Structure 1
Amino acid sequence: MDFLERFNFVSLLMAPSFWIGVATVVVVTLVVYWLLNRLLAVLHKGVQNWRGNHQEANHRLRVILFDMLNRTSKVLLFIAAFLFSLRFVALPDRLFGTISHAWFLVLAVQVALWLDQGVQSWLRHLLYAPGSNKNPVTLVIVGMLLRALVWSIMLLSILANAGVDITALIASLGVGGIAIALAVQTILSDVFASLSIGFDKPFEIGDFVVFGDVAGTIEHIGLKTTRIRSLSGEQIVCANAILLQQTIHNYKRMQTRRIVFSFGVAYSTPPEKLRLIGELVKNIITDVGETKFDRAHFQAFSQDRLTYEVVHIVDTADYNRYMDIQQEINIRIIEALAEHDVELALPSLIVKAPFASGPGEDAPQHQAPPTLN
């Protein structure tokens, strides 16, 4: 700094207009900063006292707005107050462009902070709300994508406002993204499969599913894999993309069971008793309860029995309860047939013992006990 520049600087400091301008900037900055904080406090109070027609939705929105207002940066408020105060003093022309860019920078960063907090609060409410059964992995992925989108748009808008040509930058990011996607396409396929599971919900944690030779309870739905606890106790880990290619039977969502079973009576049963059996079975199923009778018919002449086919619909998806009901039906059928002197079919088994029989003699027949199929 030469003598002339130092003289001009000292002259500027000694000028009353300079100190008046400094005082004006300080006073206006403090007043505006105080007013902005008061306005923020009024908004907080208004959000807390806000009431709507739908209490649950209103509470959710109120919490999200309250969290967003809490994310207001005091530093950015002070900078905004300072930039506003500069309008009351004389500045060189070359600074006006810089101040306008600074205004946009402060506004863009603050809006990004609000939106980022809004996304976090919304996802937290979905994840921890009472009775929520949302997939946490899906919510985390969606949250990361939304937050990355918010900050990317903020950064690109700031660069564009500063005069930077962002077209080439976006193009290079697109090419780089394609290259990365090709390199990790297997991982990305599982990640997007996890998103699909979260949105479409073919199954959830705790559901009992069967696909292929796998049967078990969903224990964890991760970013890349789903873990299933099988009936035999071991944990089965399956990639999400491969899992969605399977035909999955979700038994937890089954509301009723259609049961078909059969039993056989002896060929010696007279026709009048054969006509009674269907009605007997109907009465038994109706009396047992928790199931609805569909039909019971003399179906076929089998090799060693007259076969009856019975259909009923159990009103529960619980397998153990279904087995209790079926067991009671079977026992009552045996009791009813015995009460009407109807014999169950006795399958015959012929065993030949050459050492115990002479030429031309057959071994005695052994009959198996009656069974229900």
Structure 2
Amino acid sequence: MHWLTSYELLGNRLLAWATAAGITLLALLALAAIKAVLVNRLGAVARQGSTADRVFDSLAYMLGGTRLWLLFFQALNFGLQTALDLPDRAYSIAGNIAAVALFVQVGIWGTRQVRFWVDSSRTRAAQDTNLGATTSLGAINFIAMTVLWSLVLLVILQNLGVDITALVAGLGVGGIAVALAVQNILGDLFASLSIVIDKPFVVGDFVVIDEFAGTIEHVGLKTTRIRSLSGEQLVFSNSDMLSTRVRNYKRMDTRRIVFEFGVPHHTPIEQLEAIPRLVREIVEGIDTARFDRSHFKGFSPSAFDFETVYIMQTPDFNAYMDVQQVINLGLVKRFAERGIRFAYPTRTLDVPAPVQVAMAGPAAQ
């Protein structure tokens, strides 16, 4: 072992280098042990079902992302500082590397924190059948990751001696140029954020946009995708979605229904007076429908016209069609029992009798 004290490397004996390596290894093992103990302990506390179990879960998940190869640079810097006599430049380089590794590790911890809360929120939304939450979670995750790693990058650059003030100013000027070049994309991005915050519609809503109708399937950073009734996928830019009128049928609490029918002109007055009462009896016999009114509305060329209004207590379209079918069948049955006929388009032609025209004969000779 004489050679450990006889030979030198960069002004330090080999024994000092071996001591630094041992200290580095011990420090790394200590950090790994601390990580394992904290993760296990936090997980055990979380499994006890306390009110703060999700907080402990998140901390355990965060620490589970600790990378030993990043901790190695912390341990190495500690070993070098403790056991070796090196130039200030060497200590500065080792300290900068350790700082960069630490900041990267902090970024990984932050990433896992964001991922934990986003995933847990998505799970709760699925359990509560809250499809609207999925619209905002993707955008929130993207924004949080962008802000987090932007801050990590700026802190790393500042630690390395880069003047980030000038950098931020340069990025601002460059950002203006980029924004002008991609203003349509940025417009859709900010439209996406507006949709997330204002929530005019969310995933699962049935909407009508101009002549297009379908169910919201996905709200992305640039486009919104809708599954139409006929099966194809419709893709709209987010800015187009905000610049047009959107009818959101999913948010209906009730559905107001107006329907009309007619009876022939020769229908007796007694039957005309009875028709609104018959319609009311039919509608009031349906639990999911609330009768509003039924009136002899007016006259058309081939019929006396009646108009009926009722309120569906559910917005479901299929339920509405079922109720309308019951009403129609009830009207056919009641009218048949009372001898009332439904009108159908007719036209009466009034042809006058031929006119006899006396023709003057030739003058008598």
| TM-score bracket for this pair, using the shorter chain length | 0.7 to 0.9
Q: Aligned-pair RMSD on alpha carbons?
A: 3.7
Question: Paired residue for 1:318, among 316, 319, 325?
Answer: 316
Distance, in Å, in 1 between the alignment partners of 2:252 and 2:28 is: 61
Deviates further, 235-244 or 215-224: 215-224
Q: Distance in 2 between matches of 1:46 and 1:307?
A: 78
> 1:317 and 1:55 mapped to 2: Cα distance?
41
Asked whether the 8 Å contact 1:138–1:194 carries over to 2, the reply is no
Residue 114 of structure 1, aligned match among 109, 113, 119: 109
TM-score (norm 2): 0.77
Aligned to 1:7: none
Range with greater deviation from structure 2 (338-347 or 161-170): 338-347
Q: 1:243 is matched with which residue?
A: 241
Q: Does 1:260 align with 2:255?
A: no
1:177 alignment counterpart: 175
Helix, strand or coil for the counterpart of 1:50? Answer: helix
1:74 aligns with 2:68: yes
Which amino acid is the alignment partner of residue 210 of structure 1? Answer: V
State the Cα deviation string for residues 309-328 of structure 1 (Å, max 9, x = none). Answer: 32211123332332221122
Matched residue, 2:213: 215
Would you say 1:85 and 2:83 are equivalent positions?
A: no
Residue of 100, 104, 112 corresponding to 1:105: 100
More deviation, 42-51/114-123: 114-123
Q: Please give the per-residue CA displacement for 1:268-315, whole angstroms capped at 9, x wherever unaligned.
A: 666665554433322211223321112233444666655443221112
The structure-2 alpha-carbon separation of the partners of 1:229 and 1:26, relative to structure 1 and needing over 3 Å to count, comes to: closer
Which residue of structure 2 lines up, in the alignment, with residue 39 of structure 1?
34
The 1-side partners of 2:201 and 2:106 are apart by 38
- Give 1:367's aligned residue: none
Q: Note closer, same or farther for the CA distance 1:267–1:318 as it changes in structure 2 (3 Å cut).
A: same
* Alpha carbons of structure 1 residues 292 and 52: separation in structure 2 relative to 1, 3 Å: farther
Give the SS at the match of 1:312. Answer: strand
Looking at structure 2, the residues matched to 220 and 109 of structure 1 have their Cα atoms a distance apart, in angstroms, of 33
Distance in structure 1 (CA, Å) of the matches to 2:79 and 2:20: 5
Q: Is the 8 A contact 2:302 2:347 kept in 1?
A: no
1:51 aligned counterpart, secondary structure = helix
**What is the alpha-carbon distance in structure 1 between the residues aligned to residue 115 and residue 316 of structure 2?**
39
Q: Is the 8 A contact 2:46 2:52 kept in 1?
A: no
* Number of aligned residue pairs: 346
In the other structure, the counterpart of 2:281 is 283
1:29 paired residue among 24, 28, 32: 24
Secondary structure in 2 matching 1:313? strand
In 2, Cα distance between equivalents of 1:94 and 1:335: 102
8 Å Cα contact 1:127/1:134 also seen in 2:
no
CA shift for structure 1 position 45: 0.8
The unaligned stretches of length 5 or more in structure 2 are 357-365
- Does the Cα contact within 8 Å between 2:296 and 2:307 map onto a contact in 1? yes
Counterparts of 1:57 and 1:341, CA distance in 2: 73
Seq. identity, %: 41
Range with greater deviation from structure 2 (28-37 or 197-206): 197-206
